[in-house]
Homo-oligomer: A and B are copies of this chain.
Amino acid sequence: MKKLINNPADVLAESLRGVALAHPELSVDFENSVITRATPKDAGKVAVVSGGGSGHEPLHGGYVGVGMLDAAVAGEVFTSPTPDRVHAATKAVDRGAGVLHIVKNYTGDVLNFEMAAELAEMEGIEVGTVIVDDDVAVQDSLYTAGRRGVGLTVLLEKLVGAAAEEGQDLASIVELAKRINGQGRSMGMALTSCTVPAAGKPTFDLPEDQMEIGIGIHGEPGRHREPLAPAAEIARQLVDPILADLDAAGPAIVMLNGMGGSPLIELYLMYGEVVPLLEKAGVQIARNLVGDYITSLDMAGCSLTVLKADDELLRLWDAPVSTPGLRWGA
């Protein structure tokens, strides 16, 4: 295993130390592995909390800041944060108007956020929850009942964060979040495995001439393996399952995301392959992201996310955001 680390057991804590040093605008609660804004939002506004296992950076900690999240709860690599930590984050950022939990659909995350919501509600904090399950690759998986939550989480955190910043109430924000989840889909693929520091070796073997289609963000199995193909063919294998599941004609926000180990020159090349296929199906790409936004450690590969977007979603998308991972208009 070749990694820029010390003891594998200390990766999360030591990485959070770097985050705290790099970003004075954020505050890190090391005891709970929770990242919050150093300056809380105004009282009376809904707070937005997300979290999950680490190893997907910049998700989630890199999306804490004005216009996006109020707190991110970081579990160990690929491991759900415990309920008490999610609860600590929820308490820390509640400004009296309730808290939205954004939860990727993995069994551990769903259970732990649910318990944390119960703990918070016993203390009088209103909690709303959205479960993100946008991955069209597989129904049920190694860590999931139903579909997995992947790339759409990034777009949802941005949009819902904007709605919270402008003062929408919790019920409206929950409804917005569920609507976004209903009209976004993702599909991913891998050229290589990732290596979890504590394991010390690749999660799975993928021969030099093979790729895996429909991979998740933890190295869990996808749909199938097949011989390595050119980018144009890979693009088809990402676009087709999304379009088979979503009538995507019309305006959309599209993300071509890197899994962590694929260089940007390849991600732009893939974006160039994906766009004509989407446009042929009537998708009008109104906004886009190309880069590493939700990763799987050092895995090489990419994913595609398509979110149908009306004027209201585009307005929220364009609202100012100021986080380490996404920043504009501020």
Contact = CB atoms under 8 A, between A and B. Distances in A.
Interface footprint category on A: 35 or more
A117 interface: no
A273 B211 CA distance: 35
Which of A211, A234, A298, A327 has its CB near the most chain B CB atoms (within 10 A)?
A298
Nearest to A59: B264
Contacts of A77: 265
Nearest to A228: B2
Nearest to A234: B4
Interface string A246-268: 00000000001000111111111
A292 B268 contact: no
Contacts of A263: 55, 57, 260-261, 295, 297-298
Contact of A4 (B16, B191, B288): B191
A57 B297 CA distance: 19
Interface stretch (A18-26, A105-113, A311-319): A18-26
A115 interface: no
Nearest to A270: B4
A97 to B, nearest CB: 29
Contact of A295 (B232, B264, B275, B327): B264
A243 interface: no
A11 B263 CA distance: 12
Interface string A73-107: 00001000000000000000000000000000000
A176 interface: no
A208 interface: yes
Given A6-B232, A269-B14, A275 B21 contact: yes
A153 B55 CA distance: 29
A300 interface: yes
A3 interface: yes
B231 A4 contact: yes
Contacts of A330: 328-329
A15 interface: yes
A256 B19 CA distance: 12
A4 B272 CA distance: 11
Contacts of A262: 3-4, 298
Given A14-B231, A260-B263, A298-B261, A57 B6 contact: no
A66 interface: no
Interface string A276-295: 00000000010010101001
A271 interface: yes
Nearest to A10: B269
Interface in A182-220: 191-192, 208, 211
Given A14-B272, A18-B272, A265-B15, A4 B302 contact: yes
A58 B2 CA distance: 24
Given A4-B191, A4-B262, A22-B268, 11 more contacts: A2-B191, A4-B231, A5-B231, A6-B231, A7-B230, A14-B269, A14-B273, A15-B268, A17-B268, A22-B290, A298-B300
